[in-house]
Chains A and B, each alone.
Chain A
Amino acid sequence: MRLGMAIDLKRCAGCYACVAACKAENGTPPGIFLRRVMKEEAGTFPRVRRVPYPIQCMHCQDPACKAVCPTGATTQRADGIVLVDDEKCVGCRYCIMACPYGVRFYHAKIREYYPGQGLTVYEELMYKLHPTGVTEKCTFCVHRVEKGLEPACVANCPTKAMTFGDLDDPESEVSRIVRDRRGMQLRAELGTDPSVFYLSP
């Protein structure tokens, strides 16, 4: 089993709803976005395009972050999900350097969303899930996946731009769409074999 995702850039509206969905589901602290939307501009006026594309942990089959982790904190499950064990993580941040996608964050200390005004009750509750001194990244919402739910970004996408499922199963929706639309991996040349595929706009 290899859990993965296809992101259809023909559907993506660049609206940032997935970024908010990730933040809302995981309660991430200020400045930490386990999922972001990048916008790449090409061309010169008036022939110019700007394509929005979401990025997050690619849950690579051969994760560069795992290879450099000195404590074995970064692990990969049998279903392909790459996770960080914060009890083993010592916060050395080698993984942040090694990740080709810039999707890992170091949580140095608890910060408030309203600086100098204390944590909101929401933050008090949610930041318990975010220990300091360790690295964080997208987990494919493993806590949802284990209950049979889709990751929050997928479940909430207003345009249904994302398909999530088992890439090892040729009959799965995600495998079919990656095959039919010739899904591409970001920076495939690095050989990390990401499990997130992009379908061209």
Chain B
Amino acid sequence: MALVKELKAEKEDVWIPSVCNICYSNCTIRARRVDGVLVKIEGHPEAANAGGGGRICAKGQSGIMLLYDPNRVNYPLKRTNPEKGIGIDPGWQRISWDEALDTLAAKLKEARQKDPRSITLTFSAVDTLSFGFTAAWWMALNYFSNWWVSGAGPHCGNGEHAMAAILHGAIHTQVDYDHCNYLLMFGCGAGAGMYYNATASMRWIADAKVRGMKVVVLDPLLSTPAERADEWIPIKPGTDGYVALSMINLLVNEYNLYDAEHLKTHTNAPYLIKKNGKYMRDRETSKPLVWDAGEGKAKTYDDPTIKDFALTGTYGVDGETCCPGFQALKDHVKKYTPEGAASISGVPAGTIRRITKEFGEAARIGSSIEIEGHKLPHRPVGVLYFKGAQAHKHTLWTAMALSLLPEIVGAADTPGSLLGSNPRCLGYPETGLPRWEPIEGPDGLLIAGSWIGPPPSALSEVKVPENISLQEISPLSVLGTGQPFTLLDPAKYGLKYTPEVLLMTGCNVIMTHTEIPKVAEAIKRFPFVASLSLHLDEVTEFADLILPEASYLERYDLPQPPTLAGYHNSAILKEWLTSLRQPIVEPLYERKPRHEIIFHLLDKLDLWQDFAATYNMVAQLREPYLLDPNKRYTWTEILDLTLKSHFGEDHNLEWFKKNGVIKWKKKPEESYWKHFMKLRVPIYFEWFVDLRERTEEVLRQLTYGEELDFSDLQPLPDWGPCASHEEKRPGFDLYAFYYRVPTHTFSSTYNNAWLDDLGQIDPTVYNLVMNEDYGKKKGLKEGDWVWIESMYGGRTKGKLHLTQGVHPECLAIANCGGHWSKYLPIASQPEKGSCFEWLMKLDPKCVDWTVQNWDLCVKVKVDKA
């Protein structure tokens, strides 16, 4: 050995472009393979302006340890112990692939003959395969009926997603960091290796900060994003909505800081509202009316002769008194004073006034900016919120309030502001594909052009639930969360079929849903459970059959959903990007890529035609690249056709294997679509009145209807307490809540040896975070083991970290640690975190049914273990 040490290849030393999948951000990477061994993962330099920013987070670099983890499952296995339960060893026995596929195909065939809906499919948001592929095989197998997306409800953003759809035509939002000067964040991990565009947004925020953008974080915890903010404002859990409403009140009623021009042109703020909460409509056309202050009379909202849209005042039309939606908002928020907000949230009224003023003034209402030859309104402020703010009983209200805050100052889909991510794509210039854009719905309001399911709008249907998720009753919800309820009591929920097969892919629903023992019981109700797995984790304890899956480093994929605004694409006016995921090494042992496993099943079930028809549609294939339903393709052949279809004959699979990335310039017409399309968004959610009526009509037909509360469906948001706010029993004096850290992805990375090593450097990763003064008062010390007892009765254990950086009334629990599977020897060590779900209760009262989101805020009692 000498002074300079370096890895030397004997035969081979190559860099291979690909795409990460350690979280849902799908950053573009390149990986170095030396003599057949993956030795390094880096960000792909070509993706500097999107798709990871050319760098890669700690999690992404640690993919090496996922590939080579000796605890990965490498062979098909079947259960020998008929008894299923938490901590009960299934007695795995190795079997052949032939036996595994035959068994599974036979079970699926039998179930399909009874009712295709008797099959339930799971996946997780982290597990991002081509959306076209997933949609197509689900459609083939069970007509896209029953699915169970891991974390949907407890860990995803059902409230934010609904608001992103309704206000921005997108699945989520980002901030135009390149032009933003003031960013408010409520319980969100943006800029710290979490949230969407996990890696790239770190640099965008850093660049903006250097340029002078101020970042203010409201969060009960001095979280990683709060550490790097200019200001951390501690807030009690579940009160963000109240603070936002008081800020709106100050802006519209006290400071007169709102963007009248934006409200008149781009929103339904001028639409006249009657006493019953609905639009005043034109007798002839049924179109909503507005008041033309110029002529002093009512006109339809799209009348070209309107001189000036009235935003305030009350008017008599057709003998009825009505007022513009904006006036209704003004009146509605009056009761939300900063003093009231202070008493609920713990944020001083003076602080609320100051940040509201800063925010309103920073919006520079009336200013404009020239971008690529277009003069556009410049509203350089943003509001980001995610799980922390919305994981509460009144998710919808909180999401509405936090989304209206930027909207009223005009900070929506304009330079510097909050942007939908990404509502409009005009396609690769040579082909015009993929393409999507918002369309005009009823009353001139926008409907998202691309979403995960049907986007929420006035046209949303409410149906008697037939699927185990109960999603059909909540069209605002992107993903249903009712599965444990229906599975445990199918008669009550009126299931017209018996659940037969649960086929799980890439998720751990036991640790990421709710009350763990009940969810376990629910899974046991499936007579047959099969899992495509990387590891033998907690949920596989309930499986009958395990199919060993190739990881993202061992397979091909086109991870960005072709017709869906990919998580990796920047909302900002930078570049569009598509990249190919390809194997860095061939699948090790007997692992197989999911595509191959599914295609074998489709063959055995004779469902290839169904697959091809859906794939052609969802992946937007065009002639001559359409799949022939009578032909059997390999996955790489399908990818080749898909890529050529979108990017032209020259950009085939071989081209992508070599180059990895295709990118093209984003247009202002895409990022700032609002100024190029005549569409309005609501600031007064009038159609919620009708939606509630229609929902309640359906609820009346249901035996369990009374248990599902939809009373929050109202045109303007209020604030209401969570059950935790009303828990007053002695001893239950801490709000436990959940947060995310930059070194783990939900429950999925806890057996990654590098991330585990890294996690031990930072005391907030595995420990329960408690305020130092509270701890001292209770005689608790750093490193003490404690029992946490939930107001609902659940218990779990953890190790304490005491800090000044958390609200004294709170106990913060990171991600989804606390694994117990003995097949995860690192993750299951007792000091590797706690699982929040032990503290939850499977109770309809803990869900905001309007968006099917769980309340993850629980009062707890802490005692030394």
Contact = CB atoms under 8 A, between A and B. Distances in A.
Interface string A41-60: 10111101111100000000
A17 B754 CA distance: 12
B202 A159 contact: yes
Contacts of A51: 227
B34 interface: yes
Contact of A20 (B5, B7, B35, B758): B758
B562 interface: no
A122 B758 contact: no
A48 B221 CA distance: 11
Contact of B68 (A15, A120, A143): A120
A169 interface: no
Contact of A13 (B59, B64, B228): B228
A21 to B, nearest CB: 6
B58 A143 contact: no
Interface in B764-802: 771-773
Interface in A19-71: 19-21, 23-25, 27, 30-31, 33, 36-37, 39, 41, 43-46, 48-52
Contacts of A11: 206, 209-210
Contact of A125 (B2, B7, B232, B804): B7
Nearest to B765: A16
Given A13-B191, A16-B742, A52-B228, 18 more contacts: A14-B228, A16-B761, A17-B61, A20-B62, A21-B61, A31-B757, A41-B222, A45-B772, A50-B227, A83-B4, A87-B1, A114-B826, A120-B68, A122-B65, A139-B4, A142-B4, A156-B43, A158-B55
Given A16-B58, A122-B64, A27 B39 contact: yes
A41 B65 contact: no
Contacts of A182: none
A115 to B, nearest CB: 8
Given A15-B193, A43-B804, A24 B202 contact: no
A118 interface: yes
B70 A120 contact: yes
A113 B206 contact: no
Interface string B631-653: 00000000000000000000000
A113 B35 CA distance: 21
Given A17-B193, A43-B804, A114-B71, A12 B4 contact: no
Contacts of B57: 15, 17, 20, 158
24 contacts: A10-B206, A13-B228, A14-B192, A14-B227, A16-B758, A19-B58, A23-B61, A23-B758, A24-B41, A39-B762, A44-B773, A45-B807, A48-B232, A48-B805, A49-B232, A50-B222, A85-B2, A87-B2, A122-B68, A125-B7, A125-B37, A158-B193, A158-B202, A159-B205
Contacts of B62: 20, 24
Interface in B1-56: 1-7, 34-35, 37-43, 53, 55-56
Interface of A: 8, 10-17, 19-21, 23-25, 27, 30-31, 33, 36-37, 39, 41, 43-46, 48-52, 75, 83-87, 113-118, 120-123, 125-126, 129, 131, 139, 142-143, 146, 155-161, 201
Nearest to A117: B70
B466 interface: no
A129 B1 CA distance: 8
A49 B233 CA distance: 11
B199 interface: yes
A163 B227 CA distance: 22
A17 B56 contact: yes
A155 B30 CA distance: 14
B724 to A, nearest CB: 20
A10 B209 contact: yes
A116 B824 CA distance: 13
3 closest Cβ pairs, A-B complex: A159-B206, A113-B753, A120-B68
Nearest to A19: B758
Contacts, number: 191
B38 A45 contact: no
A46 to B, nearest CB: 5
Interface in B814-831: 825-826
Nearest to B585: A121
B743 A16 contact: yes
Contact of B1 (A16, A120, A131, A143): A131
A20 B61 contact: yes
B224 interface: yes
Contacts of A37: 761-762
A17 B55 contact: yes
B600 interface: no
A113 B754 contact: yes
A50 B3 CA distance: 37
Nearest to B752: A113
Contacts of B771: 45
A161 B203 CA distance: 9
A125 to B, nearest CB: 5
Interface string B730-764: 00000000000011000000000110011001100
Contacts of A20: 57-59, 61-62, 754, 758
Among A16, A44, A51, A139, the one with the most B-chain Cβ atoms within 10 Å of its Cβ is A16
Contacts of B826: 114
B609 interface: no
Contacts of A31: 757
B69 interface: yes
B209 A160 contact: no
Contacts of B241: none
B202 A13 contact: yes
A41 B803 contact: yes
A125 B803 contact: no
A51 B234 CA distance: 17
Contacts of B753: 30, 113-114
B808 interface: yes
A13 B804 contact: no
B227 A129 contact: no
Interface in B647-698: none
A43 B232 CA distance: 12
Contact of A41 (B7, B38, B805): B805
A142 B6 CA distance: 9
A83 B2 CA distance: 10
A43 B804 CA distance: 8
A156 B55 contact: yes
A159 B205 CA distance: 8
Nearest to A160: B203
A146 B205 CA distance: 32
A39 B761 CA distance: 10
A156 B773 CA distance: 39
Nearest to B3: A83
A161 B55 contact: no
A76 to B, nearest CB: 11
A23 B61 CA distance: 9
Given A19-B58, A20-B58, A158-B57, A146 B4 contact: yes
Contact of B71 (A15, A117, A142): A117
Given A17-B57, A156-B42, A113 B65 contact: yes
A143 B6 CA distance: 6
Among A51, A85, A160, the one with the most B-chain Cβ atoms within 10 Å of its Cβ is A160
Contacts of B61: 17, 20-21, 23-24, 156
B206 A160 contact: yes
Contacts of B807: 45
Given A113-B65, A160-B206, A45 B40 contact: no
A70 to B, nearest CB: 18
Nearest to A114: B70
A160 B208 CA distance: 12
Interface in B186-210: 191-193, 199-200, 202-203, 205-206, 209-210
A155 B206 CA distance: 16
Contact of B4 (A44, A114, A143): A143
Given A13-B206, A39-B227, A158 B6 contact: no
B64 A24 contact: yes
A126 B7 contact: yes
